[in-house]
Amino acid sequence: MEAETIVAISTPVGEGAISIVRMSGPEAINIASNIFKGKDLKKVASHTIHYGNIIDPQDEEVADEVMVTVLKAPKTYTCEDIIEINCHGGIVAVNRILEIVLNQGVRLAEPGEFTKRAFLNGRIDLSQAEAVMDLIRAKTDKAMSVALHQLDGRLSNLIRKLRQELIETVAHVEVNIDYPEYDDVEEMTQGMMQKRTKKVHAEIESLLQVAKQGKILREGINTGIIGRPNVGKSSLMNVLVQENKAIVTDIPGTTRDIIEEYVNVRGVPLRLVDTAGIRETEDIVERMGVERSRQVLSESDLLLFVLNNNEALTTDDLQLFAAVKGLEYIVIINKTDLPTKLDMEKVEALAEGQPIISLSIIEERGVEELEKAIATIFYAGHIDSNESAFVSNVRHIHLLRQAKEALEDAMNSLEFGMPLDIVQIDVTRTWEFLGEIIGDTASDSLIDQLFSQFCLGK
């Protein structure tokens, strides 16, 4: 059955220089020709752009002055004919053009349907399709670089190579079993099977070793700023964000609620959360903020624990040290421009080897050291986003772990001297898990679920 022609707005809603209405499908060029006053779009060359007006066929009125791009199959994003109408930015103009196109019998695209068609038409595989959304959502240059490398097929090529190695192994075993009379086919031995499975296992382990860094680049780090009231938590957030997002005063307990912001620290995306100061209080509203802060403490990947250099350690500070025990955190000694009243030897003992950074937000000292410490904790100070294949997707990581476990089952069976036809069952399972990453063995329901998470118009 011939695919339907679909349409969607591909630019964010709001005011801007231009907005784009994208159409894809067998009738895209014919429909665009019916509503475009300018060159005959049916006769123009592919991958060209043309000036004219969009006309509403119902009243022959001009809807907008536009530039229309004509892209003919198969060399397009979806492998179908595509029309992109570039109109003036703004909600009214783009919605009017969308309405005119829909009135021509075109269906409104579902979220991610353009990319889904690119996948179903064989232009990209499932991991590359997911990289498209990663590219859109990237919050740092390094995250964008990883997504681009996944989009160009580096991960896909490695997965296909591993799957080929496994399927050749399985096929070799089956030939030996089904056609033992073939003398010209080398017999698959226990040793040969072990060698091949160990090789694939090593490749999967290598991918999983960088998976934590890749996941961080893709999703960011949940980072909570904690400490007693008035130690400089909100000021620290403002310095990292480089905007006055949080209210800064000398009054303890000013921050009553959670303030969130994404920041880029040396390529590390942080989901920064400024919390209410944690202390015992009779104020009902502040107490609610403190409870939320305690929840952030338990949910964060990294904690920035702020102490006041100008005050001695308090019972609240000691309770916080107990609360962060066993978690990933950096101790920040703020207000170092003021006289020191903090017992640093006691702080070092309580920190138990965790990084301690001295900071003066007023004098802008120590911020670089803090950024370096954050990068060091998660990337050992360096991350190579130019790896030949970099895993960042949670779904991919889960499937790689399953593939690794299945292959380890096969390797254990070989160690116990199990027959090769039994061992190959786990090898085949590994092959199937790897196939789900690129979509070769993925179910229709999984594919639909993945693309439903895409933005409309992509």
The more confidently predicted of residues 218 and 238 is 238
457 is in an annotated binding site: no
Architecture of domain 6-109: 2-Layer Sandwich (3.30)
Residue 76 annotated as binding site: no
Q: Is 249 annotated as a binding residue?
A: yes
Residue 10 labelled as part of a binding site = no
Q: Is 458 annotated as a binding residue?
A: yes
Q: Is 254 known as a binding-site position?
A: yes
Q: 408: Cβ–Cβ under 8 A, 6 or more apart, which residues?
A: 201
Which residue shows structure tokens 């009231």? Answer: 229
Is 22 annotated as contributing to ligand binding? yes
Query: Is it the case that residue 310 has pLDDT exceeding 80?
Result: yes
Q: Tell me whether residue 96 is annotated as binding.
A: no
Strand 329-334 to 302-308 pairing:
parallel
pLDDT of 90-116, one tens digit each?
A: 889 999 999 999 999 999 999 889 999
pLDDT tens-digit profile of 45-92? 999 999 999 999 988 899 999 999 999 999 999 999 999 999 998 889
197 annotated among ligand-binding-site residues: no
Euclidean distance between CA atoms 269 and 421, whole angstroms:
47
Averaged pLDDT of the chain:
82
Q: Is 235 annotated as a binding residue?
A: yes
**Which amino acid type is present at position 284?**
I
Query: Is 84 part of any known ligand binding site?
Result: yes
Q: Is 220 annotated as a binding residue?
A: no
- 89 is an annotated ligand-binding site residue: no
Specify the range with the lowest mean pLDDT, choosing from 121-125, 168-172, 274-278, 347-351: 274-278
Residue 344 token pair: 């640093």
231 is in an annotated binding site: yes
Check the annotation: does 255 bind a ligand: yes
Q: Check for a shared fold between 129-210+390-452 and 220-379.
A: no
Domain boundaries, the chain: 6-109, 129-210+390-452, 220-379
332: left (phi over 0), alpha (psi -120 to 50) or beta: beta
187: annotated binding-site residue? Answer: no
Residue 441: partners with Cβ closer than 8 Å, 6 or more residues away:
432, 435
- Among 3.90.105.10, 3.40.50.12780, 2.70.98.40, 3.40.50.300, name the CATH number for the domain at 220-379: 3.40.50.300
For domain 129-210+390-452, the CATH architecture is Up-down Bundle (1.20)
Is 115 labelled as part of a ligand binding site? no
Poorest-pLDDT segment among 14-28, 68-82, 169-183:
169-183
371 pLDDT tier (thresholds 50, 70, 90):
confident
